[in-house]
Amino acid sequence: MGTGSVRALALALAVFLACSGIAVVTAQETERIEGSAGDVLEDNPVGRLKVYVYDLPSKYNKKLLKKDPRCLNHMFAAEIFMHRFLLSSAVRTFNPEEADWFYTPVYTTCDLTPKGLPLPFKSPRMMRSAIQLIATNWPYWNRSEGADHFFVTPHDFGACFHYQEEKAIGRGILPLLQRATLVQTFGQKNHVCLKDGSITIPPYAPPQKMQTHLIPADTPRSIFVYFRGLFYDTGNDPEGGYYARGARASVWENFKNNPLFDISTDHPPTYYEDMQRSVFCLCPLGWAPWSPRLVEAVVFGCIPVIIADDIVLPFADAIPWEEIGVFVAEEDVPQLDSILTSIPTDVVLRKQRLLANPSMKQAMLFPQPAQPGDAFHQILNGLARKLPHGSNVFLKPGERVLNWTAGPPGDLKPW
C-alpha cells in the first residue's frame, strides 16, 4: 500500500470513527456471552469447595512485602492479593480434615532486584523451603505429595522461575510442584513451563488506578491501533531477535511511520485514556507471552490484538478470546495493517459489545475488596471444576513419587 493511499485510509477511518460513532459502544450497548462460556463466567464458587490456608512464618510472605512494598503494584502481585482474599473468603475452612484444597501463601516474586524484577535464583529456593516446612509440620502434603495443593506462581514462566525463556526451559518446573495445581500467568501450548491441569490467570493490573482514568463511554475511538512499550531490549538482548522473538521489532520497523498506528516507547500520563480512544490495542509477547496490556485492553474496551503464537489465555473456558480479540501469528506481523483494516465493521462492533459487558472486565481484575465474578472467583471456579479429586490423588501408605533431590544444584541450596 502506497503512502498516499495509507494516509487517505487513515483520514477516512478517523472521520468515519469520530463522526459516525460506529466504533463507539456505550455502557448500554453490551452483549452477553452465549452458551456455556457465559454460564461459567457467572458461576459462584461458594459452597462448591473448601480451602485450607497454611499459616506460614511471615518470612515467606508478609515480611517480604514489608521489606519491599513495590510488590503490591507490580504485575506479579496476584500471589499477594490471592492470599489476602482467601484469608477472609467464604470458602476458607479452619479444619484441614474437611478441605478440598490446600493453599501455601509464599510470595516467590516479592524478593526483588533494585530494578524491581524477581530474583530468579531465590524463587525456587523459597518455594522448596515452604514445601519442606508444610511437609514436616502437617500430614496433608505427604498423603498426596501436593496433588490436592495449589500454588500461585505468577512468574514470567510460572514455576520455571526465570524471565528468559531459554533459562526457564533449562530449569523446568520445580520438581516438587509436579503433582500440584499451578495457578499462573504463563501459558503456552506444548511448553515445558506449563503442566497439564494448570489454571492460567491474568496478571495483576491496579483496579483502583484504572478506575480513576475512566473517560465517558461515548468518547469516539479515533485511534485505530495503539501500543506503548519496548520494541527492543538492548540491555538483555543486545544482538536483537531474541526479545519477543522479533515480533515487537517487526511492529516498529513496519509501522513506525504508518498513520494508522500510534506506537511508541513513550509511556504518557494519558496512557489509559488513550487506550479508551483506540479501536485496537496491540498485545505482543515480550520476554514471556503475557503482559498486563491484555487486562488493560479488556477493561478499557479496546480490542486486543494478540501476537504470541500458541499462547494459553486467562480463564479460556469462561472468556471467548476468539470472539473478543484478534489473533495475529508472529510471522504475519508485517501484514498487520491489512489484517486489521480488512475486519468487517459488524465484527468490530460485536467484539466491542462483548468487551463492554461488565462481567468480562470483572473477570480480569483482582479488586480490593473482592467482588462477585472477579479473578479471585474465576480461580476458585477453576479449582471447583477439578473436584471431586480422582483416585490417583492420594498415595498408598509408604508410596513416594517426587524426587526431593532433583533439579539444578543452585535450586537445592537453603533459602
Q: With a cut of 70, say whether residue 297 has pLDDT above it.
A: yes
Let me know if 69 is exposed, middle or buried by CB neighbors in 10 A (0-12, 13-18, 19+). Answer: exposed
**What distance in Å separates the CA atoms of residue 283 and residue 391, rounded to the nearest whole number?**
41
Same domain for 221 and 188, yes or no, is no
**What distance in Å separates the CA atoms of residue 77 and residue 75, rounded to the nearest whole number?**
6
Same domain for 251 and 115, yes or no, is no
237: left (phi over 0), alpha (psi -120 to 50) or beta: beta
Please check whether residue 1 lies inside any domain of the structure.
no
Contact 161, 122 (CB under 8 A): no
Tell me which residue has cell 501408605: 397
Q: With a cut of 60, say whether residue 74 has pLDDT above it.
A: yes
405-414 contact pairs (CB < 8 A, 24+) = 406/175, 407/124, 407/171, 407/172, 407/174, 407/175, 408/170, 408/171, 410/121, 411/121, 411/124, 411/125, 411/128, 411/171, 411/174, 412/128, 413/125, 414/125, 414/129
Residue 33's pLDDT is 63
Contact 196, 158 (CB under 8 A): no
- Of 108, 109, 86, 113, the closest CA to residue 99 belongs to 86
Contact 367, 341 (CB under 8 A): no
Please check whether residue 337 lies inside any domain of the structure.
yes
Q: With a cut of 70, say whether residue 14 has pLDDT above it.
A: no
pLDDT per position as a tens digit, 93-107: 999 999 999 999 999
Q: With a cut of 70, say whether residue 333 has pLDDT above it.
A: yes
The CATH number of residue 222's host domain is 3.40.50.2000
Contact 66, 60 (CB under 8 A): no
Please check whether residue 170 lies inside any domain of the structure.
yes
Same domain for 121 and 178, yes or no, is yes
- How far from the centroid of its chain's Cα atoms is residue 344's Cα? 29
Q: How much of the chain, in percent, has pLDDT values that exceed 70?
A: 91
Number of domains in the chain: 2
Please check whether residue 403 lies inside any domain of the structure.
no
Same domain for 98 and 133, yes or no, is yes
Residue 295's pLDDT is 98
Same domain for 183 and 250, yes or no, is no
Please check whether residue 315 lies inside any domain of the structure.
yes
Please check whether residue 397 lies inside any domain of the structure.
no
Please check whether residue 11 lies inside any domain of the structure.
no
Same domain for 156 and 220, yes or no, is no
Q: With a cut of 70, say whether residue 4 has pLDDT above it.
A: no
- Of 396, 393, 358, 36, the closest CA to residue 217 belongs to 358
Give the type of residue at 91.
V
- Count of CB atoms situated within 10 Å of the CB of 373: 21
**What distance in Å separates the CA atoms of residue 238 and residue 217, rounded to the nearest whole number?**
42
Tell me which residue has cell 459516525: 20
- Count of CB atoms situated within 10 Å of the CB of 184: 28
- Of 176, 163, 182, the closest CA to residue 82 belongs to 182
Residue 37's pLDDT is 56
Same domain for 228 and 358, yes or no, is yes
Host domain of residue 328: 207-364
Same domain for 353 and 382, yes or no, is no
Mean per-residue pLDDT, 387-392 = 94
Residue 55's pLDDT is 98
Please check whether residue 283 lies inside any domain of the structure.
yes
Same domain for 185 and 214, yes or no, is no
Report the first-to-last Cα separation within the chain, whole angstroms: 58
Same domain for 165 and 237, yes or no, is no
pLDDT per position as a tens digit, 351-371: 999 999 999 999 999 999 999
Query: For residue 115, what pLDDT band results from cuts at 50, 70 and 90?
Result: confident
**What distance in Å separates the CA atoms of residue 43 and residue 82, rounded to the nearest whole number?**
18
Q: With a cut of 70, say whether residue 34 has pLDDT above it.
A: no
**What distance in Å separates the CA atoms of residue 127 and residue 109, rounded to the nearest whole number?**
10
Mean per-residue pLDDT, 214-225 = 96
Q: How large is the C-alpha radius of gyration of the chain? A: 22
- Of 389, 386, 387, 362, the closest CA to residue 375 belongs to 362
Q: With a cut of 80, say whether residue 15 has pLDDT above it.
A: no
Q: With a cut of 80, say whether residue 36 has pLDDT above it.
A: no
Q: With a cut of 60, say whether residue 172 has pLDDT above it.
A: yes
Same domain for 96 and 185, yes or no, is yes
Q: What is the DSSP string of 324-391?
A: HSEE--GGGGGGHHHHHHTS-HHHHHHHHHHHT-HHHHHTT---SS--TTSHHHHHHHHHHTTPSPPT
Contact 258, 6 (CB under 8 A): yes
Which positions ≥6 away from 264 have C-beta within 8 Å? 227, 228
Residue 120's pLDDT is 77
Residue 263 or 42, more confident: 263
**What distance in Å separates the CA atoms of residue 256 and residue 263, rounded to the nearest whole number?**
7
Same domain for 179 and 211, yes or no, is no
Lowest mean per-residue pLDDT among 10-24, 136-150, 395-409: 10-24
Which positions ≥6 away from 66 have C-beta within 8 Å? none
Which DSSP letter does residue 204 get?
P
